Amino acid sequence: MTLKQQVHRALISFIENKIKELNSVLNETIEATSSDSKSSAGDKHETGVAMAQLEQEKLSKQLNELLNQKNQIKLLNPELVHNKIGNGSLVNTNNGLYYFSIGIGVLEVNDNTIFSLNPLAPLGQSMLGKKAGDSILFNNRKFQILTIE
């Protein structure tokens, strides 16, 4: 299995773990709200229920975002080799490895530090369409593109 395929799997696993964690917190919040709604402590009670419902909405939005990210990742083909940087590219530069997918930050895969980068992020946009051997200047740092998978 190539490094790119391993990175892709690690990214899916990361997102799936986040989804499980968020589902667990959401279920706990729903259960707490359900048990709170059975008691009747007046205004304080109603305020507590409203706060719990707002928390549920916030968690639901985060869960939807994670599900969307998971779907975006699954659309990428980690077996496809790119000759220009685009969505799904694994890019090796003099400043590290970048996987063009979703922006979640750093992944550790087989002793490699990979930056999961959204192609719409400023650094991603400046690299899009570039080929191996090209270089860009971003925030006063030169990025030499060594290889693209």
Q: What percent of the chain has pLDDT over 90?
A: 77
> Looking only at Cα atoms, what is the longest distance across the chain?
69
Residue type for 103, please? G
Say which residue the tokens 């990025």 belong to: 143
Which pLDDT score is estimated for 33?
A: 72
pLDDT tens digit sequence for 116-135: 999 999 999 999 999 999 99
CB 78 within 8 A of CB 3: no
Q: Which of residues 3 and 50 earns the better pLDDT score?
A: 3
Tell me the H-state helices in the chain.
3-36, 43-74, 122-127
pLDDT tens digit sequence for 34-66: 765 555 555 555 666 777 788 889 999 999 999
The gap from C-alpha 85 to its chain's centroid, in whole angstroms, comes to 19
Say which residue the tokens 């391993």 belong to: 6
Which pLDDT score is estimated for 46?
A: 67
